[in-house]
């Protein structure tokens, strides 16, 4: 009855109510109370429904806005990554060229257009800016040390520590415009193949360039303001880099941009829909009206129960009308389905009330499926979504949902891909429309068709691809008609030749002729094209500005369907750079890029030729190995730029004194090889002395007057060797003898030198097998407290007993281990063995003993040192407080800042650190107070002559006083006499070790020694 009354036309409802009022008694009071309750309940439900819909709409708009903001953030991130990709290209050039780039201005000017957005490029060997582009306006930055600059040092060190590209914060360029920079550390291999830090490359992007990228411009054009933040990696604070409006945003959406070693956020102002309040008000009004209507209908329903007999006739009549309408609709639907089946087009119908999707059999057949496999119960909207291509799914669903939500008068239309039975993708054109009643109101149904447009899409894509290849190719394209008149060119043609399209179209290609090729060349070219259909080769052409350039040209003849020539297609590329690169490669292959001297490859060629001539004529030859003394000190103190300039100046001075047949080569670093044909020993001595005399005169280098010396090794042919490799090796050995004899001199090769290096090589080979053959062992030297004599610990000392060589002194094999790289695994073995032995002693009851272990430079520089130490402690079951790691001054001062960080991490682990051999190095007091040290060890060289040398006594007292003021313990090494013991005790030294107590002992003897010490009753 309610359905019938509700569907009656308004005029009939009013007439019925009028009749009720005249013919029926007043309804009972309980009907009114029921109607009020229904109205209140429906109002509550409507309020909840409206709240839910409003929240759903707001969340939907926010998700859409977040997706848009993410796309814009990705655009900004992509722009920065592409722009700063130039740093990787520069880094590759640096590694290839050794950091020397000829004419950096032109090189950078050619490189920058390939990385849009870059405003400044620079190279900073050892952190000091050496090259910069553009130089104009940035002259003040040249020579600037990025590692010491108060504003730039943090970012520079941060890039080096992370070994990767690092973006800086906002800063101002010399012209006042704000910018950001990216710095990339570059590592190159030295002569031994070890990676070392060469310096930094950096690129700068102005913030105004970022503000002009399409994604940010489109935000402003759409009325949204934005703000780009950066999370400072040094202090964790957020920094504003770029903003379109300084006022704070009421609402905003943040999107994270993951950039190298940096986190950026794009905040976009989120504006609420101004019509939202109006919509909510309208919905509330409609909800109130609907609640009143429901209350009224409930009253009407109760009232109609009084008149059921009168309404039955109306219900029966209305039912007959509805059935007639349904029969008519089914008939029309049947005819519609017949039309669809005859047109071989897939049809579909969607009922948004039941969310039911129905598809015709032709729809499934079009995709290659059997329609019987998809009964009506499977035809849900989710089936269509599941068949959609992942890249089209969100867009297609959003388009359909928007159509259902907006219910427009126009047709629904969309293109997307669906998965077919062959697991391939079929392009579909979907069209549909809403069904409406006589009053134009939607009936809740959308009907439409699906058409396969895969062939059309493939053809369109092929045309678009061909057009993009033609227009975007870096090569030049030129197409002529059969009469060889130009009909089409691309942008690559304009870029290479300088001619615009309207200047060349209608002309003949001869306009580009260089004049370097005669008529016969061009005639042969076209004959080849006509006969073979194509020609390719190298040719010279002339640009619009008159300049000539070489190009690689390919000409093809195109035929029509009748086999007649229709067009000629020419594809060409400018190979000027390639030719320059070939020349550069040849020079790099045979000449040192720094000094211009022959490199090792050219040296070998000339050396073999000189040896061949000497052998043929029975002559002699001398090879001099020249190494500059203390060259590293110049690099470290004045910088690599000054060091490089010194090498160039030395090469120029020495080259002026050589004969034409002599060959001077730089083989790497500060090492030079000089081949002197047709000389004997006396002449070789004269040549070596002449080199030393030349170096006594100062060299003017970069504003400095520098004086250096050299160590020279001499090997003679055929006395010392009959091959170039043999002469080189023997001269190298002789050079090291010259250095051992005090430098600034020369030395001839002798067989005794060979014996020394043979033993060194034999020890190195034997040392490589010492660990696996259990030849290494530890001895332990006791450490005592001076005041009480109490045994407090032991220092672990490495010993090696070879089965053939016997006991090898540590002073002989430890330097070999360090130079060969074996010190790393040996040091790890020493640490693990010492901790296991300490655990054994603690289990025997010596719980207060500590163990001291020496760390090598390689171990200390390892990035994972704290983790490795923690792992060894855990494996041995020993507390960190029982371990003391000893470092020498030379290790800590190689890189003091890194040493500070490493000691801090060890301190956090609980491990104590001692500075060994204190006083023999060059410790800086400013760094000493920053080191997290526990103890200073006075070197035994100062303890040995305490009783006789006042200087040593003063040094020891000063060291103890310094340590006391810093809150450090002091241990003296090499204590052998009671007088030394008494002096140290009076001076305030707390601990000592030496032969006064005991020599270093094997583990079992140390156990017995400890037992004796522990049993002594102290006074």
Return the CATH number of the domain spanning residue range 73-269: 3.30.450.350
Per CATH, 473-576 and 606-749 having the same topology is answered no
pTM above 0.75, yes or no: no
What was the pLDDT predicted at 334?
A: 59
Q: pLDDT digit string (tens) for 94-143?
A: 887 776 777 788 888 888 888 888 989 998 888 888 889 888 888 888 88
Distance between CA atoms of 929 and 906, rounded to whole angstroms?
16
Q: Check residue 996 and give its pLDDT.
A: 92
For residues 604 and 724, give the distance between their C-alpha atoms in angstroms, rounded to a whole number.
7
For β-strands 534-542 and 486-489, DSSP reports them as unpaired
Going by pLDDT thresholds of 50, 70 and 90, the confidence category of residue 981 is very high
- With beta carbons less than 8 A apart as the criterion, state whether 7 and 15 touch: no
Please list the alpha-helical segments (H only) found in 618-669.
631-638, 640-655
Which pLDDT band, with edges at 50, 70 and 90, does 201 fall under?
very high
How does the average pLDDT of the chain come out, rounded? 81
| Cα torsion through 238, 240, 244, 246, rounded to 10 | 90
Average pLDDT over residues 450-454: 82
DSSP structure string for 163-207: TS-EE---EE-TTS-EEEEEEEEEEEE-TTS-EEEEEEEEEEEEH
| Tokens representing residue 302 in the block | 């109760």
pLDDT in tens, 493-530: 888 888 988 888 888 888 888 888 888 888 888 888 88
Q: How far is CA 897 from CA 17, 421, 588, 636, 924, in A?
A: 96, 66, 37, 16, 12
pLDDT at residue 847 is higher than 50: yes
Domain ranges within the chain, ordered by starting residue: 2-57+288-323, 73-269, 344-459, 473-576, 606-749, 763-1015
Give me the pLDDT at residue 5, please: 34
The long-range contacts involving 602-608, CB below 8 angstroms and separated by at least 24 positions, are 602/665, 603/663, 603/665, 603/667, 603/673, 603/675, 604/724, 606/663, 606/675, 607/663, 607/675, 607/724, 608/724
Predicted confidence band of residue 976 (pLDDT cuts 50, 70, 90)? very high
Nearest to 594 by CA among 666, 675, 537, 690: 666
User: With bands split at pLDDT 50, 70 and 90, how would you rate the model's confidence at 928?
Assistant: low
Residue 14 predicted with pLDDT over 50:
no
Under a CB-based contact definition with an 8 Å cutoff, are residues 129 and 142 in contact?
yes
pLDDT of 343 > 60? The answer is no
Question: What pLDDT does residue 329 have?
Answer: 57
104-118 pLDDT, tens per residue?
Answer: 888 888 888 888 889
| Tens digit of each residue's pLDDT (9 = 90 or more) over 875-913 | 989 998 899 988 876 666 666 777 778 788 888 888 898
Q: Which CATH superfamily is domain 763-1015 in?
A: EAL domain (3.20.20.450)
d(CA 352, CA 401): 10
Q: Are strands 621-628 and 710-717 parallel, antiparallel or unpaired?
A: antiparallel
pLDDT at 621 over 70: yes
Instruction: Note the pLDDT of residue 991.
Output: 95
Q: What is the pLDDT of residue 325?
A: 64
More confident residue, 76 or 440: 76
Q: What is the pLDDT of residue 307?
A: 58
Query: Measured in Å, how far apart are the chain's first and last C-alpha atoms?
Result: 115
pLDDT band per the 50, 70, 90 thresholds, residue 11: very low
Contact 810, 827 (CB under 8 A): no
Q: Which of 660, 661, 631 is nearest to 647 (CA)?
A: 631
Sign (positive or negative) of CA dihedral 602, 604, 610, 616: negative
- Report pLDDT for 54: 78
| CATH superfamily for domain 344-459 | PAS domain (3.30.450.20)
Looking at residue 969, its pLDDT comes to: 92
The pair of three-digit structure tokens given for residue 324, joined into one six-digit string: 């007639």
Look up the CATH number of domain 473-576: 3.30.450.20
The structure tokens listed for 529 are 């094209």
Residue with tokens 């190995």: 625
Instruction: Between 310 and 582, name the one with better pLDDT.
Output: 582
Contact 707, 695 (CB under 8 A): yes
Contacts of 691 (CB under 8 A, 6+ apart): 624, 626, 654, 674, 710, 712
> How far, in Å, CA of 51 to CA of 504, rounded?
68
Confidence category of residue 269, pLDDT binned at 50, 70, 90 = confident
Task: Give me the percent of the chain exceeding a pLDDT of 90.
Answer: 12
Q: How far apart are CA 209 and CA 216, in angstroms?
A: 11
Integer-rounded Cα Rg, in Å, for the chain is 45
| CATH superfamily ID and name for 606-749 | Reverse transcriptase/Diguanylate cyclase domain (3.30.70.270)
The whole-angstrom separation of Cα 937 and Cα 913 is 11
Strands (E), 386-542: 412-419, 425-436, 442-452, 476-481, 486-489, 534-542
Q: What is the mean pLDDT of residues 810-830?
A: 80
| More confident call, 777 vs 233 | 777
Query: In which residue are the tokens 């703000």 written?
Result: 227
Cis peptide before 288 (omega within 30 of 0): no
Asked if 216 contacts 184 with a C-beta cutoff of 8 angstroms, the reply is no
The per-residue pLDDT for range 365-424, each reduced to its tens digit, is 788 888 777 787 777 777 788 888 898 888 888 888 888 888 887 888 888 888 888 888
| Strands annotated E in 460-508 | 476-481, 486-489
Beta bridge partners of 478: 489, 570
Q: How far apart are CA 620 and CA 676, in angstroms?
A: 9
């Amino acid at each position: 009855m309610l359905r019938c009354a509700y569907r009656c036309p308004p005029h009939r409802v009013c007439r019925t109510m009028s009749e009720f009022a005249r013919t029926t008694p007043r309804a009972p009071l309980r009907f009114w109370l029921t109607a009020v309750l229904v109205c209140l309940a429906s109002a509550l439900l409507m309020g909840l429904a409206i709240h839910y819909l409003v929240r759903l709409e707001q969340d939907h708009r926010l998700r859409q806005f977040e997706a848009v903001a993410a796309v814009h953030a990705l655009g900004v991130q992509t722009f920065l990554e592409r722009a700063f990709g130039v740093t990787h290209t520069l880094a590759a050039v640096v590694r290839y060229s050794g950091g020397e780039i000829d004419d950096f201005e032109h090189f950078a000017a050619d490189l920058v257009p390939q990385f849009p957005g870059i405003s400044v490029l620079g190279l900073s060997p050892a952190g000091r800016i050496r090259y910069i582009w553009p130089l104009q306006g940035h002259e003040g930055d040249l020579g600037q040390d990025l590692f010491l600059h108060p504003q730039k040092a943090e970012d520079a060190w941060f890039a080096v520590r992370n070994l990767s590209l690092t973006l800086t914060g906002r800063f101002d360029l010399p012209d006042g415009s704000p910018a950001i920079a990216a710095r990339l550390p570059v590592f190159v291999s030295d002569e031994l193949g070890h990676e070392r830090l060469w310096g930094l490359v950096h690129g700068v992007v102005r913030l105004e360039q970022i503000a002009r990228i399409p994604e940010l411009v489109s935000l402003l054009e759409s009325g949204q303001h934005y703000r780009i933040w950066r999370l400072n990696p040094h202090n964790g604070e957020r920094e504003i880099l770029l903003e379109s409006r300084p006022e704070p945003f009421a609402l905003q959406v943040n999107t994270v941009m993951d950039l190298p070693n940096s986190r950026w956020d794009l905040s976009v102002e989120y504006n609420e829909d101004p019509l939202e309040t109006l919509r909510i008000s309208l919905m509330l009004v409609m909800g109130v009206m609907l609640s009143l209507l429901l209350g009224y209908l409930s009253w009407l329903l109760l009232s109609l129960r009084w008149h059921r007999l009168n309404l039955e006739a109306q219900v029966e009549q209305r039912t007959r009308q509805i059935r007639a309408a349904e029969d008519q609709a089914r008939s029309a639907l049947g005819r519609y389905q017949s039309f669809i089946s005859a047109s071989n087009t897939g049809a579909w119908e969607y009922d948004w009330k039941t969310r039911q999707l129905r598809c015709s059999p032709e729809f499934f057949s079009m995709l290659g499926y059997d329609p019987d496999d998809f009964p009506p119960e499977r035809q849900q909207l989710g089936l269509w979504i599941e068949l959609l291509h992942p890249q089209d799914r969100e867009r297609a669903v959003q388009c359909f949902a928007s159509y259902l939500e907006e219910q427009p008068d126009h047709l629904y239309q969309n293109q997307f891909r669906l998965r077919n039975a062959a697991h391939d993708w079929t392009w579909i054109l979907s069209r549909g429309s809403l069904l409406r009643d006589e009053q134009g109101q939607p009936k809740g149904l959308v009907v439409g068709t699906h058409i396969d447009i895969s062939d059309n899409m493939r053809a369109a894509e092929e045309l678009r691809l061909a057009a993009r290849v033609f227009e975007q190719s870096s090569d030049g394209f030129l197409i002529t008609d059969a009469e060889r008149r130009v009909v089409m060119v691309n942008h690559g043609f304009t870029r290479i030749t300088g001619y615009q399209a309207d200047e060349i179209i209608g002309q003949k290609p001869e306009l580009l002729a260089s004049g370097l090729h005669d008529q016969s060349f061009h005639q042969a070219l076209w004959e080849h094209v006509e006969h073979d259909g194509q020609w390719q080769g190298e040719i010279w052409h002339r640009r619009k500005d008159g300049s000539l350039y070489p190009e690689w040209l390919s000409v093809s003849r195109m035929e029509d369907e009748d086999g007649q020539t229709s067009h000629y297609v020419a594809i060409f590329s400018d190979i000027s750079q390639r030719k320059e690169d070939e020349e550069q490669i040849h020079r790099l292959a045979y000449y040192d890029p720094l000094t211009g001297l022959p490199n090792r490859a050219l040296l070998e060629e000339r050396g073999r030729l000189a040896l061949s001539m000497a052998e043929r004529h029975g002559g002699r030859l001398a090879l001099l190995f020249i190494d500059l003394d203390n060259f590293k000190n110049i690099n470290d103190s004045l910088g690599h730029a000054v060091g490089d300039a010194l090498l160039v100046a030395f090469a120029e001075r020495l080259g002026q004194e050589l004969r034409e047949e002599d060959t001077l080569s730089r083989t790497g670093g500060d090492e030079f090889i000089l081949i002197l044909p047709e000389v004997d020993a006396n002449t070789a001595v004269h040549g070596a002395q002449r080199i030393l005399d030349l170096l006594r005169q100062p060299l003017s280098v970069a504003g400095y007057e520098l004086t250096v010396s050299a160590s020279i090794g001499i090997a003679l042919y055929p006395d010392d060797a009959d091959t170039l490799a043999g002469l080189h090796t023997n001269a190298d050995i002789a050079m090291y003898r010259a250095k051992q004899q005090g430098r600034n001199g020369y030395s001839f090769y002798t067989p005794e030198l060979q014996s020394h290096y043979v033993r060194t090589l034999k020890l190195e080979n034997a040392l490589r097998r010492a660990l696996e053959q259990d030849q290494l062992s530890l001895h332990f030297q006791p450490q005592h407290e001076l005041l009480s004599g109490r045994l407090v610990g032991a220092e672990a000392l490495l010993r090696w007993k070879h089965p053939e060589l016997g006991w090898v002194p540590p002073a002989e094999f430890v330097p070999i281990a360090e130079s060969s790289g074996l010190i790393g695994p040996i040091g790890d073995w020493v640490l693990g063995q010492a901790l296991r032995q300490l655990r054994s002693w603690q289990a025997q009851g010596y719980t207060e003993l500590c163990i001291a272990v020496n760390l090598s430079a390689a171990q200390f520089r390892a990035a994972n040192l704290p983790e490795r130490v923690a792992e060894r402690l855990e494996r041995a079951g020993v507390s960190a407080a029982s371990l003391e790691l000893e470092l020498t001054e030379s290790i800590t001062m190689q890189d003091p800042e890194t040493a500070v960080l490493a000691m801090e991490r060890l301190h956090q682990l609980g491990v104590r650190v001692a500075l060994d051999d204190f006083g023999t190095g060059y410790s800086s007091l400013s760094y000493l107070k920053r080191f997290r040290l526990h103890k200073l060890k006075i070197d035994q060289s100062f303890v040995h002559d305490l009783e006789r040398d006042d200087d040593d006594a003063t040094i020891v007292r000063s060291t103890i006083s310094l340590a006391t003021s810093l809150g450090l313990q002091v241990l003296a090494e090499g204590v052998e006499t009671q007088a030394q013991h008494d002096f140290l005790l009076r001076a305030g030294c707390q601990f000592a070790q030496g032969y006064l107590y005991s020599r270093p002992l094997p583990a079992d003897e140390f156990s017995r020694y400890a037992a004796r010490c522990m049993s002594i009753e102290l006074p």
